[in-house]
Structure 1
Amino acid sequence: MDNTSSLKKSFSRIWTLEREVLFYSLFLCIISFIFLRSDLSPATIFKSILPTMSGLWWYITAYVITLIFMPFLTKALKLLGRDMHRKLCITILIMWGLCYGVAPFLGLWGRLGLNAVELIFLYILISYYRWYINSWTRKTGWTLFAIGVIWIFAVMIIACILTDVTGHVLFMNVYHSYTRTFTLPSLLVEFGLILVCTNPKREHHSRIVNAIAGSALSAYLVTEYPATRT
C-alpha cells in the first residue's frame, strides 16, 4: 500500500484479475452444465458471463470497486494530512468498530452490508498505520491480537452458557455477530496480525507462503461458485 496509486494501475490490476475470474466462471459454468445441470440456474449462467459486475463472487466485486476508488481515496487522504486522517480513523473506530462492534446485534449505524465500503474503511485505517505510525512493534501486535482473541472467546463461552441455560439461540447469534470483519474484536485481531507478520526493518519472503497465497483465489472461486457450493 503506497501513496502513488493511479487509476491506470488500478485498472491494470482489475484487468488481470478479471481475466482469471472470467476463466474460472466460464470453466465452472461448463463443468456444472455437464455434471451438475440440476444445480445450474439461468441466473448463474448469466452471472458467469459477467462475474464481476453481477456479483457472482461478492469479494471480487467488492475488491474491484475498492480498486476503482483507491486512487481518489489515496489522494484525498494525503491531502487531509496526518491530523485529519487520524481523526477520521478515530471516527470510524468509534462509530463502527466500537458502537457496531460492541453491540452488533443492535444494528447500530447499519449492518455494513456494503462489502466494498468495509474494504474502503479498512484501507483508511491501514493506510494511516502504514504512512504515519512507526513506533508500533511486534509486541504491540501480539498484545492487540491477544486482546481480540480473548474478547471473542469470552463472548463465545458466555453465549454458549446462556444458550444452554435459556435455550434461546439469540446469544449464539450475538457471538456470530462478533466474528464479522468490522467489529472491534476482529479489528484488533486483524491489526495485531499485520503488526506481527510485517517488519519494515527486515523483509522476509517465502516461496512456500507465496505459492499457497497464489492458490487461495482459485480455491475461493471454485468453492464459492453457486453450482459447486450447493
Structure 2
Amino acid sequence: MLLVVFHVIPMNTKDALKSFLPVLTGNYWYVSAYIGMYILVPYMNLVIEHLNKKDFQKLLSTLFVMFSLLPYMKNITVITNNNSVINLVYIYFIGGYLRKYNDDFSKDKIKYYILSFIGSLVLMLASIIVIDFIKPNHWFAFLTTSSPLEAIAGISLFLIVKNTTISYNEIINKIAASTFAVYLIHCQAIFFPILWNKIVRADQWQSIPYTVGYELLVACVIYCSATLIDFIRIYILKTYLKFKVRFVG
C-alpha cells in the first residue's frame, strides 16, 4: 500500500479489487481454496469416519490417479487445475487416513520415510535433466502440484517430522508465525507482477543450467525479506497498543 501511496508502483481498479476482496476475486488461491475446504470439513469427516480401511485406500488410490497421474496423459481433463479447493480436499483425505490409521505409520519405519523422501527428490532432480534434454520448455513437468513425486515427497516428509521429537525453539516459532504473512506479501496483487517480472525476472532464468540454485536463492531472499517486513509490522502494532494503553487508557 505504501508503494502505491508514494507512486512507486501503479494501481488500477482490477488490482484494487483483488487487494481488498482477495477471496471473492481469487487473488490468494490458497486462502480461497482453504475457506472452501473448511466449509466441506464436516462432510469430509463423515466420510473419513465411516470408510473402512480398504475402501479408504481405494479412495486415496483413485484420487492419486486423478490428481497425480492423469494430468500427464494427453486429452484427459478430469482435473484441469490443482490449485483449487479440490486439491485441498485430496490432501485433507490423505491427512485423515494418516490420522485414522496412525499406528501403521510408527517411528520404527522412519528409515523408509527418509528413503522415500530422498528418492523422490532425486527423481525430481533427475527429471529436470532428462526432460530438459528431450523437451527444454517442459523441464518443470514433475515439479508441479500435480506431480506424483511431489505428493510422495510431501507425505514422506510429513511422516518424518511426525515421528521426530522436536524440542521447543522460540526463534523457529517466531519465524514460522510469519509464514502466512510471507505468502500474503509476495502474492499481493499489485506487488506480484513487480516482484516476478521486474525484480526476480523469472522468465529470463528458466533456461539457465543453475535454475534450481537460483530459485532456492530467490525463495530464501523473499522469505527472509517478507518475514522482516512482518516483524516490523508486529513491532509497530505492539508499540501502538502500548502507547494506546498508556496514554489513552
> What is the TM-score when the length of structure 2 is the normalising length?
0.68
Q: 1:156 aligns with which of 108, 128, 150?
A: 128
CA–CA separation in structure 2 for the residues paired with 1:32 and 1:51: 19
Tell me the residue number matched to 1:19.
Answer: none
1:115 aligns with 2:87: no
Tell me the residue number matched to 1:50.
Answer: 21
1:225 aligns with 2:188: yes
Q: Are 1:148 and 1:188, in contact at CA under 8 Å, matched by a contact in 2?
A: yes
CA–CA separation in structure 2 for the residues paired with 1:36 and 1:222: 18
Q: Are 2:37 and 2:89, in contact at CA under 8 Å, matched by a contact in 1?
A: yes
Q: Are 2:82 and 2:146, in contact at CA under 8 Å, matched by a contact in 1?
A: no
CA–CA separation in structure 2 for the residues paired with 1:72 and 1:183: 27
Structure 1's 173 and 160: CA in aligned 2 closer, same or farther, altered over 3 A? closer
Q: Secondary structure at the match of 1:135?
A: helix
CA–CA separation in structure 1 for the residues paired with 2:74 and 2:9: 37
Tell me the residue number matched to 2:151.
Answer: 187
Tell me the residue number matched to 1:13.
Answer: none
Pair member with larger Rg: 2
Question: 5+ unaligned residues in a row in structure 1: which ranges?
Answer: 1-27, 163-170
Q: Are 1:47 and 1:55, in contact at CA under 8 Å, matched by a contact in 2?
A: yes
CA–CA separation in structure 2 for the residues paired with 1:123 and 1:199: 19
Q: State the shift of 1:153 in Å.
A: 1.1
Q: Tell me the amino acid that sits aligned with residue 130 of structure 1.
A: R
1:131 aligns with 2:95: no
CA–CA separation in structure 1 for the residues paired with 2:161 and 2:110: 8
Q: State the shift of 1:98 in Å.
A: 3.1
Tell me the residue number matched to 2:142.
Answer: 178
Tell me the residue number matched to 1:24.
Answer: none
Q: Are 1:104 and 1:178, in contact at CA under 8 Å, matched by a contact in 2?
A: no
Residues 9-48 of structure 1 mapped to structure 2, 5 A cutoff: 28=1, 31-36=2-7, 39-48=10-19
Tell me the residue number matched to 2:44.
Answer: 73
Q: 2:63 aligns with which of 78, 92, 95?
A: 92
Q: State the shift of 1:190 in Å.
A: 0.2
CA–CA separation in structure 2 for the residues paired with 1:146 and 1:112: 27
Q: Are 1:66 and 1:119, in contact at CA under 8 Å, matched by a contact in 2?
A: yes
CA–CA separation in structure 2 for the residues paired with 1:63 and 1:176: 26
Instruction: Give structure 1 regions of 4+ aligned residues with deviation exceeding 4 angstroms.
Output: 104-108
CA–CA separation in structure 1 for the residues paired with 2:97 and 2:167: 23
Q: Tell me the amino acid that sits aligned with residue 178 of structure 1.
A: F
Structure 1's 204 and 86: CA in aligned 2 closer, same or farther, altered over 3 A? farther
Q: Tell me the amino acid that sits aligned with residue 112 of structure 2.
A: T
CA–CA separation in structure 1 for the residues paired with 2:20 and 2:114: 44
Equivalenced residue count is: 190
Q: Are 1:40 and 1:227, in contact at CA under 8 Å, matched by a contact in 2?
A: yes
Q: Secondary structure at the match of 1:225?
A: coil
Structure 1's 155 and 217: CA in aligned 2 closer, same or farther, altered over 3 A? same
Q: Are 1:36 and 1:227, in contact at CA under 8 Å, matched by a contact in 2?
A: no
Q: State the shift of 1:33 in Å.
A: 3.2
Structure 1's 143 and 211: CA in aligned 2 closer, same or farther, altered over 3 A? same
User: What is the RMSD computed on CA atoms of the aligned residues?
Assistant: 2.3
> What is the TM-score when the length of structure 1 is the normalising length?
0.73
Structure 1's 195 and 61: CA in aligned 2 closer, same or farther, altered over 3 A? same
Q: State the shift of 1:217 in Å.
A: 1.1
